Structure 1
Amino acid sequence: METLEPIVSFTLGGFKIDITPEMVVQWGIIIFIALLCWWTTRNLSIKPSKKQTVVETIYKSLKGLIINNVGEKYLDILPFIGTTAVFIFMMNMVGLIGISPPTKSFSVTVSLGLISFFVVQFYAIKNHGIGSYLKGYAQPVAIMLPINLLERVMFPVSLALRLFGNILAATILVELVYEALGSVAWIAQIGLPIPLHGYFDVFDGVIQVVIFVMLTMINIKIVSEH
């Protein structure tokens, strides 16, 4: 795996901070999503326009996903689940325009896994209190405490490794195909890799988004009810 050098490095408070290409791409995606949300939610009306229809369709799909999998009482997690799904989806799709997906970096997927982990714990504490939350670690019997702790810790690790491994493998395979085609003739790189991008960038990218948000939703329910 190629190590990407930081674009800019500086020291702040004694700590070295590197601005990496993955960070720049993520900032760009965040800005793009913010502008897209602002544009699509302007001038909303009872009689929806085409863009409002698209937004409402996405909202209803996410709402249905939550209701069908964890129940209607968990609809308050929709903003987090929706934001996470859109953000990861955009990061996975940038490979279609020749940009290296940030999710092929383990540091990025670890950060996403930790965010989901803390949201899961916060949600349980918010709804049941810190006492009930801590008591849940010793359920159904106190001897289960080490296993329950390990289960909680492994959740963000499994999320990070699954997303990282799949996107990295897909990126490497596509790059190998381009290198092989380039050794034959440069024109072979035009058109022939399209099916690969369709599978590894679009299909696999969407599947990884679904898996990530599904596991997060289910874990929110399990920990909260535990």
Structure 2
Amino acid sequence: MNVFAPLFTVHIFGFAIDSDIVTQWGVMVVLIIVGFILTRKLSVDKPSKLQVGIEMAYDMVAGLVSDNMGEGYEGYVAFVGTLGIYLGILNLCGLIGFGPPTRNLSVVVGFTLITFFLIHYNAIKRKGIGGYLGSYAQPYAAMIPINIMEAIVFPLSLALRLFGNMLAAAIVMSLVYIGLGHISMFAQFAIPVLPHSFFDLFDGIIQTIIFVMLTIITIKIQADNH
């Protein structure tokens, strides 16, 4: 089992698209369909148990945004919730036999670029272009190179943290299956449950939480303090 090789490759108009990208698109389509189904019969007067559950989940995300970003950031609830659900499902794909797409650097870079542009868009929106550019000279003009470097290094560290952890987990699970395969093919059925619980379930959830928390905290800091 080669963890670096895609599970399959699809060729569209001469472009080779590997399984990680296809899986990412598939999860996106499923989430859109599920989201439409779950929200098409919402009611103010007689909410169903499902609606109550959805509203509780929304309130939890709204509380997370409010506690960490403060007032005026209510519009980010949808983004934070979508990011957490989407990234979380991608990280957990290893539980159903697919390698997590986040082991692919191009997938992770896509998430990071969205976060990067949102952070700086929010800062420009709240401080204006002049205030945004002037913030790089704070507290002293000599800090401009360091502040610029900080702005560049953050998305790099965010991407490499997620990519490195998910790739390492995929490599370890690949080695587990290879080792068990030398013992018996039947050993590959039950024994991997425990390592899957840690490297796919626990690590996938932890990496999702870290990515989301760093995103919302940095959006706040870049706009208010930098």
Do they fold alike, i.e. is TM over 0.5?
A: yes
Q: Which moved more, 1:70-79 or 1:128-137?
A: 70-79
When the two chains are superposed, the root-mean-square deviation of aligned CA atoms in Å is 1.5
Is 1:34 matched up with 2:32? yes
The amino acid across from 2:18 in the alignment is T
Q: Secondary structure at the match of 2:191?
A: coil
Q: Equivalences for 1:89-168 in 2 at 5 Å?
A: 89-168=88-167
Aligned residues: 221
- Counting aligned pairs with the same residue, the percent is 46
The two structures have a TM-score, normalised by structure 2, of 0.92
Q: Which moved more, 1:63-72 or 1:34-43?
A: 63-72
The amino acid across from 1:45 in the alignment is S
The equivalent of 1:48 in structure 2 is: 47
Q: Which moved more, 1:49-58 or 1:205-214?
A: 49-58
Q: Deviations over 1:93-152 (max 9, x none)?
A: 111110111100111111111110000000111122111111111111111100000000
Q: Secondary structure at the match of 1:45?
A: coil
Q: Secondary structure at the match of 1:186?
A: coil
Distance 1:62 1:44 in 2: 19
Distance 2:49 2:187 in 1: 39
The equivalent of 1:14 in structure 2 is: none
Q: Structure with the greater relative contact order (CA < 8 A, sep ≥ 6): 1 or 2?
A: 2
Could you tell me which runs of 5 or more consecutive residues in structure 1 were left unpaired when the two chains were aligned: 12-16
The amino acid across from 1:26 in the alignment is Q
- Aligned with 1:8 (options 6, 11, 14): 11
Q: Secondary structure at the match of 1:95?
A: helix
Could you tell me which runs of 5 or more consecutive residues in structure 2 were left unpaired when the two chains were aligned: none
The amino acid across from 1:34 in the alignment is I
Quote how far apart the aligned CAs of 1:23 are: 1.4
The equivalent of 1:23 in structure 2 is: 21
The amino acid across from 2:198 in the alignment is Y
Quote how far apart the aligned CAs of 1:77 are: 1.3
